[in-house]
Every structure is written in structure tokens, then in C-alpha cells.
Chain A
Amino acid sequence: MSVFITRRILQSLVVVFVMSLLVFFGVNIVGDPVDMLINPEADQEDIEAAIRALGLDRPIHEQYWYFLVNALKGDLGKSFIFAEPALKLILQRMPATLELAFAAMFLAVVIGIPLGVFAGLRPHSKVSKTIMAGSILGFSLPTFWVGLMFIMIFAVMLGWLPSTGRGETTSLLGIQVSFLTLDGLSHLLLPALNLALFKMSLVIRLARAGTREVALQDYIKFARAKGLSPSRVVLVHVMKNILIPVVTVLGLELGGVIAFAVVTETVFAWPGMGKLLIDSIQLLDRPVVVAYLMITVLMFIVINLVVDILYSILDPRVRLKDVKS
């Protein structure tokens, strides 16, 4: 296993380097941040001073070299707009996004798996058909539209939940979290549900397909014949065996949810990283965009590694070893 991990880490370094090239040059050929930053009343002299102050008068390969050297020291550059380290800005907003992402994943799993298993066990019942139809909607309705509908229904028409923002936060191990207060939870529910909807549909379909396959296996028949209670058969024998595809997909999706909760965060004005990213893209705050994408790359690499390890725990037949390609 250690050989496997070492090899993966080496591969990852190459990926990170190539990505840094692509991201840096990609982001730097678009537009000119000075036009976004400078007051329109400024004259040519002011504009040139601003260009120099941001280091944009240097050739791009030189800018990249600075970036690379500093990145190795853990400094991913300073935001043009906030004049603060990009990494700090992102980390500041990370807890809000992580909270939202985990809440969404939690909802997707606790609602998705039971519904999926149910639909798998009784594929022909009306309820199952409704669940499956619902999951198609969950897949195909655009997130921003569903988000706005949630706001219209639950905040505007019914007035049950607040429409936007994060609500009250409390400190947990030095991190600001909102799920420990009622006000925070009420702010969290709609965006989490909005973000969860797509994943939930995914989980429902995976769980249903898995259940239908597993339910016909000999060991399930045997468990039944042995006289185990139906709940034990489902909760232990079926559930455990459908979890592998679910864990794989969710692991991959988790990265996506954390990195690109952009739409949900924008619709609900959730002060997370996604909102920071979209603002930075629109205002051409290049250092933040680059830092964000680099962090995303690292995150995906780590998550994939963790998923592989989880695999081996869930399924004893899977052993991590150095497979020759």
C-alpha cells in the first residue's frame, strides 16, 4: 500500500505542476484587471501606476516564475482587490462552504439512500415510481432555478425560512459554524437542500440499481431462508453491498460540491468560497482565481486517494497494490 501511495503522490506533483501552468496562463490572457479596479476618472498616469503596482507590466513568463517561486514557499499571491493573501481569503471562506457541502452531502445520503433502497425493493409500487420520477427532476432542473423557487416558496410565500445569508455563527474549535444555532440552521437548510438535490437524485438511482441487483443474490436469499428479520437483511446485508458505488461517486462529487457550489452560494448569498470565486472571476482578481483552482486540484487529488483507501476498507476483495499498467 505504501508503494501505491508514494507513486500516487509523485503522479500528483506532476499534475499540480501542469495545472499551475494551464491555470496561470489561461487566467492571465483574459482581459485586464486594471480596467476592473481603477476608478474611471483616473488619468493615463494613474492607470500606468496601477498596472505597475500590480506587477502587470512584467512579461507573463516572469510573472509565472514569481508565482511559482512564491507558491513553493506557500504564498499563492496577493489579491488585487483586497490586497490580502489569496490563500487567506480562501481559507477564511472555506468553513462556510465546507459546512454547506457537508450538510448537502448529509441530506443527500440520509434522504437518498433510504428512498433508493425502497425503490429498489419494491420497484413496481406507485411510491417507487414517484421517487424515480422525482429523481429525474432532481437531475434535470437547473440549480439556480430550484434555488430561486425554494426562496419564493419557503421564504417569500410561506415565510418559514430566511431567504439569503448565513445567519448566526458560533465558534467550534476556532472555526465559525452555523449549524449549532437555530438561526444558523434555518439559514443553512435551503441552500443545503438546493445543493443536495442533484446528489440526492444520483444517490437514489445508485442505491436503487444496487439494491435491485443485490436483492437477487444468493446470500440475500440465504439470509432470508435463515430467518433473519427483513430489517436486518436490508440494513446489514443489502446496504453494505450497495455502498461501494455510492461511496465512489459521492467521494468524487464531494470535491465538486466543495469547489463549485458557486451557483447555490450566489443565489443564496452564502459567504463561501464559491461566491468568492465567481466574484474574483468577474473582477479578474487573478491571484485568487489561480489560488482557488490550485487548491481545488489538491483537494481532488486528496479525495481520490481517500476514496481508494475507503474502498479497501469497505470491500475486502479490493487490495491497494502497485498494478502495472
Chain B
Amino acid sequence: MKLLKLPVAALAAMLVALPVSQAGANELTIGLASEPSSIDPHFHNLGPNNAVARVMFDRLIMPDDKQRLLPGLAVSWKAIDDLTWEFKLRQGVKFHDGSPFTADDVVFTFQRAPDVEGSPSSFGTYLKGKTITRIDDYTVHIKTERPYPLMPNDMSTFSIVSRKHGEGAKTQDYNSGKATVGTGAYKFVEYVPGDRIVLERNENYWGDKPEWTRVTLKAIKSGPSRVAALLAGDVDLIEQTPTADIERLKNDANLTLSQGISNRVIYLHLDHDRDSSPFVKAKDGGDIKNPLKDQRVRMAISHAINRDAIVSRVMEGIAIKAGQLLPEGFFGRSPNLKPVEYDPALAKRHLSEAGVGDGFKLTIHGPNDRYINDAKIAEAVAQMLTRAGIQTDVVTMPRSVYFKRASRGGPDGTPEFSFILVGWGSGTGEASSPLKSLIHTYDKSRGFGASNRGRYSNAEVDKLIEDALATVDDAKRQDLLARATEIAINDGAIIPLHYQVNTWAARKGIKYRARTDEATVATDVISE
């Protein structure tokens, strides 16, 4: 048994001698659900990357936790004529290395952001069709070919990098930290792919002084492990708290939960296009003329869904039922739309009026790893529709397979499914984003309806959306967007279910300003 002694002794020694790793009062460790793929702020336009970039690099306009546009590196902006926007830049701002921030850095960012080698999803989306001119050190003009009201929104999406460090810099130079010099609240310290990102406070930050001296971001993908890491005190804050654990964590005196509604609406899209839709069948399994093209059937489906039950049972109370594309407080929302009432009798009546009183067969397709409880929501919807006479099957699949099929899995790149569960978060924080992508007629050449997987098409709505996108006056644009939303929703273009509510959990004494854009940002973590 000699063999045994050594390791056992070593184990015992380790168990006794373990240091209790307690971070200092002003240090913060965050457990993230997904890891950024790079530190280069322009490499990949995706949530986790943008959340990390946001604290190291400022933007011209900085959306706050409710996606309201606040002055960032630009102190003011206005349209000086139909085609030109003027941005006044903040003076006296220094990069992390002490070099001054000027209009040159903005001009340089305009060149670099859309054109990063190997970028899987570039910021060109927000920069194309715009030309920037440097007027003086602290003024730039941005010109567009057509009137463009979303300029401030677009300018709030990307990081301004230093020309001095960014010129010729590749993504690797940002990952190594060589070029990672911004004006942001936190400075880059270390990046170990797969493990951690370490940041430290920028003592000379122009804005509110950041609260934490040192911030460590750790990617802990598995939900239960993230919760365990918080319970064990290894991290101070976690994002995407699994809904099943929320009740239990709520009752834990050592923890604080921070919840906030997101800009993401979970909705159903239906086939508005094909006369014979592949996943709609008659009761006996035979072919049937696509009933989803009838507005009454779409409304019947909406009335047959008990949104309160979905929110209280499936989402365990952590969601808010939806009646349109964006929750309260967002620009371009209609004040007149309410969530559709659950009314099975009315649903049945609508169905008989539409000539399908006997019901039909339908398959709902949805992802099972994309939205909170997505597969369960699809199952609940299917049960409710089946009760209303529309016999509904459920098929869910991983998002890696789902989105391709839902977008272009059919013949000639058409959407494959008939009835799908999807979600949409408005990146710009206002209604034109979902209207343009989900509701407007699919028009490849003009870039409309890219995610219109139901191929909804309504000339009146299209006109309103296009007018809105060319109206710089805020009040008029608000009206146009609200009207477009009302017509589309009342026509059953999509059927909104609920808005997602996100939950952050933290050790006692720390709160998170829950962001509507779902990002976890160190500057929004505050101590009580």
C-alpha cells in the first residue's frame, strides 16, 4: 500500500492549505454565458464582443441601459440638411496611452470598421452609404445619398479606435493588447482565449469614474456551473441566470437578482406567401389551400394562445406578454396596441368564418437553444392551438440547423417552414429595425425584409416603413412607425407572444442595471 500514501497525503495537504480566493472589495469578477470571439472591437458585430468592447472603447453616441442615446465621444449631433449630419466631438478626451482623441480617429474608424480581414459579420451594415468629412479637430460631417434619420442610432453601434494604434493593426494585435487602446472606462490587461479577460480602471476617464479597479470576465457556458460559481463566491455576477434556478436564488439572502425587460420580442411567423404550404395539411392529411393567408385564421391563432399562461407557467413569471414589436418605452411603438386577449370561443368563430371550422393540421418549428425556454414555448403554443381545433405538431432543433432552414431551407432559397417561433431584438432600439427586417416585403435588391421568414407583404405598410426611414423629423417618424406597426399587427403579419425578461444574479451588495440590449457591461454593475 506504499503507492497510496503519497497522493493521499498530497490531497489532504491541498484540502487544508487552500487559500480562500476572495477578491478585493473593488474587484469584480463576472461570469459570462458566452465568450467574445475577439478583443478587436470591429472584428465581429455580435453581442458578446460588443459588450466587452463597450467598456474599453467609447462610441460617438452611447446607448444607456434602456438604449436611450446619450452623448459619448460626440457631445451633440444634428442634421444640418437632408443629407448631412454634423457631429461635434468631445474635447479633452485622452486615449489610454495619453494621446488625444480627435476627428482623425473617427475618420480612421470609418475606414477600419467595415473592412476587417476575416470578419464574419462586419460593421459595414451601419457604415455603408455614408461618407465622412473632417471639418476641424472636433467636428465631422457625415453625408448620405438619401435622407437618413437613423444616423444617431447607427453611430451608437461601433467603437471608436485610436488611429495611432489602429493603423495597420490586425485583429491579432488587438487580441494581444498591442492595439487595444481606447478611450473607454476600462483598460485592457489580459486576454486568455477560452478562460478570461482582465480589465483595469481607466483613472483618467472623461465620464463617470468607473467603480471597479479591476474587472475579470470569465466565460462559464454551462448554466448550472455559472450559478454554482456565483454560489461558491468565485464570481460576483452572472448573466443569463437559468429560469429554473431563479426562484431558489431569490430566496438566498446572500444574493441579489436584477431583472429587466429586453428589446427582444418572441413571436410567431406564418406563411403568407405560398398557396400550398408544406407544413399545413387538411385534417385527413391531404393537401389544403393555405389557410394562414386568411387574416381571420391568423387572428384566430392569436386569440387561441393564452399568453398569460405562457408567461406564468412556461416562463415562470419572467416575461411580459406582448402586443407588438417592442415593449414600452421604445421609439416607434404604437400606444394603441394591446396584447391580444385569450378568447377560444372567438378563435373558433374566426375559424368557421374563414371556412376552416373543422380545423386543420399544422407543424410549428422552433429552435431549442436560442431563446429562454424556446422549445417549451413552442410546445405550449401547439397544445393551445390543438385545443382550438388546429391540430399542431411540434418540431424543435438546434439553432445551427434551424435558422438556415427557417430562412432559406426550401427550394430556391425560400423559407422551408409554415409556422415558426422566432425572436427579434431591436439592435437600434427603435421600431424601424423589426419593421424593416420582419414586416417589410422581402426585397433583396433594396435590403428589405431580410428576416421576413413568413414573406408577409403589404404595400401600405411598406410605404409607411419607407417613408419613416426617410423622415428625419422625430415626431413624424414616430407616427409613421406606429401606424405601420398597427396595420401589420392587426393584419396578423406576425403574432407577438412575449418580451423576454433577463435576469442577472449577483452577490449581495452588487446590483446590475439590467440592460434592454441584454448585454453585460461592467460599467452598469453598481454597488449598493
Asked if A and B are interacting partners, one says: yes
Q: Is A40 positioned at the interface, with any CB of B under 8 Å from its CB?
A: yes
Q: Per a CB cutoff under 8 Å, which of A38, A266, A282 touches B398?
A: A282
In whole angstroms, what is the CA distance A183 to B14 when docked?
A: 10
Contacts of A39 in B (CB 8 A): 45-46, 121, 125, 427
Whether B18 pairs with A160 at a CB distance below 8 angstroms is yes
Cα separation A113 to B1 with both chains bound (whole Å): 10
Which of A40, A96, A266, A278 lies in contact with B425, CB distance below 8 A? Answer: A40
Cross-chain contact A164 with B437 (CB below 8 angstroms)? no
Asked if B399 lies at the interface with its beta carbon under 8 angstroms from chain A, I say yes
Nearest CB in chain B: distance from A50 CB, A: 6
**Alpha-carbon distance between A107 and B4 when the two chains are bound, in angstroms:** 10
Instruction: Give min CB distance, B141 to chain A, whole Å.
Output: 25
Instruction: Establish whether residues A165 and B234, one from each chain, have CB atoms under 8 Å apart when the complex forms.
Output: yes
Q: Is A42's beta carbon under 8 Å from chain B? A: yes
Which residue of chain B has its CB nearest to the CB of A54?
Answer: B120
Known: A160-B18, A267-B225. A41 touches B437 (CB 8 A): yes
* B221 touches A (CB below 8 Å): yes
B91 interface hit (Cβ, 8 Å): no
Work out how many contacts link A and B, with CB atoms closer than 8 A: 192
- Per the CB 8 Å criterion, the residue count for chain A at the interface is 72
**For residues 1 through 38 of chain B, which have their beta carbon under 8 Å from a beta carbon of chain A?**
1-4, 6-7, 11, 14-15, 17-21, 31, 35, 37-38
Counting CB contacts under 8 A, is B355 at the interface? no
Cα separation A148 to B6 with both chains bound (whole Å) = 27
- Assuming the contacts A110-B3, A156-B231, asked whether A40 and B38 have C-beta atoms less than 8 A apart, the reply is no
Closest A residue to B192 using CB positions: A271
Question: Would A269 and B218 count as touching, CB distance under 8 A?
Answer: yes
Contact A44–B398 (Cβ < 8 Å): no
Please encode chain B, from 113 to 127, with 1 for each CB lying within 8 Å of some chain A CB and 0 for all others. 000011111101100
- Cβ of B229 under 8 Å from chain A: yes
**Chain B contacts for A267, CB-based, 8 A:** 222, 224-225
Evaluate contact between A37 and B121: CB separation under 8 angstroms.
yes
By beta carbon, the residue of chain B nearest A281 is B400
Q: Does A292 make an interface contact (CB < 8 A)? A: no
Q: Do the beta carbons of A276 and B194 come within 8 Å of each other?
A: yes
Query: Of B93-101, B290-298, B358-366, B443-451, which stretch is located at the interface?
Result: B443-451
Minimum CB distance partner of B50 in chain A: A39
Is B399's CB under 8 angstroms from A156's CB?
Answer: no
| A247-274 vs B, Cβ < 8 Å mask (1 yes, 0 no) | 0000000000000000000111101100
Contact assessment for A159 and B232 in the assembled complex, using a CB-CB cutoff below 8 Å: yes
Contacts of B43 in A (CB 8 A): 83
Interface residues of B in 361-419 (CB under 8 A from A): 369, 398-404, 407
Judge if A120 is at the interface, Cβ distance under 8 Å: no
A291 within 8 A of B: no
Residues on the B chain within 8 Å of A231, using CB = 2
* Known A35-B407, A45-B447; contact A155-B400, beta-carbon cutoff 8 A: no
C-alpha gap A55/B54 in the complex (Å):
31
Determine if A246 is an interface residue (Cβ-Cβ < 8 Å): no
Instruction: Please name all residues of chain A whose beta carbon is closer than 8 Å to the beta carbon of B228 when the two chains form the complex.
Output: 148, 151-152, 155-156, 163-164
Residues of A within 8 Å of B233, CB to CB, are 159
User: B219: CB under 8 A from chain A?
Assistant: yes
B232→A268 contact, CB < 8 A:
no
A30 near B: Cβ within 8 Å? yes
Taking CB atoms, residues of chain B closer than 8 Å to A78 are 118
**Given known contacts A40-B451, A271-B192, is B120 in contact with A31 (CB within 8 Å)?**
no
Q: Is B424's beta carbon under 8 Å from chain A?
A: yes
Closest chain A residue to B451, Cβ basis? A40
A282 touches B369 (CB 8 A): yes
**What are 30 A-B interface contacts by the 8 Å CB criterion?**
A30-B400, A31-B400, A31-B404, A32-B404, A34-B404, A37-B121, A43-B437, A44-B444, A46-B122, A81-B37, A82-B193, A83-B43, A83-B120, A107-B7, A144-B222, A156-B228, A160-B15, A162-B232, A162-B234, A163-B231, A164-B218, A164-B234, A165-B229, A166-B195, A182-B14, A182-B17, A183-B21, A189-B14, A282-B369, A282-B398
Rank and list the top 10 A-B pairs by shortest CB-CB distance, nearest first. Answer: A83-B118, A43-B447, A271-B194, A32-B404, A35-B403, A155-B232, A37-B120, A271-B195, A163-B232, A31-B400
B residues with CB within 8 A of A: 1-4, 6-7, 11, 14-15, 17-21, 31, 35, 37-38, 43-46, 117-122, 124-125, 171-172, 192-196, 218-222, 224-225, 228-229, 231-234, 369, 398-404, 407, 424-425, 427-428, 433, 437, 444, 447-448, 450-451
